Amino acid sequence: MSPEPTSLLQGTLDLLILKSLIAGEMHGLGVSRRIQQITGGTFVVKPGSLFPALHRMEEEGWISSFWGDSENNRRAKYYRLCKAGLKQLEVETKRWSRITGAIAQVLEAS
């Protein structure tokens, strides 16, 4: 029973991508599968959202890219986390803990 993929909340995508890249350098499909895996299939990132996000984050200087060989010897574009990206991950994580904390309080209160 695989749960219905949930649409991504605003601002979550950056966090998810940064978090997946903690594990090491990865190509687009890798990032996508990793997110699917760590969220237990809750989030499925379509290429139409994934690539714009990757390129935007690269332009922000959070991640960098290079061409490398994939597991079955195909050329693929890989992304890796930069220092600025690590910092950004911290910021995003804090923000999210604050939000989830707040939401949890709301839920407990009722």
Query: Interface with other proteins by CB under 8 A: which residues?
Result: 27-29, 46-49, 51-53, 55-56, 58-61, 70, 72, 74-77, 84
Residue 8 tokens read as 């991504």
Produce one character per residue of 58-69: b if its CB has 16 or more CB atoms within 10 Å, e if not.
Answer: eeeebbebeeee
40 vs 48, beta carbon nearer other proteins: 48
Total length of the chain: 110
Q: β-pairing, 75-81 with 26-27?
A: antiparallel
77 vs 94, beta carbon nearer other proteins: 77
- Shortest Cβ distance from residue 61 to other proteins (Å)? 4
- Shortest Cβ distance from residue 49 to other proteins (Å)? 8
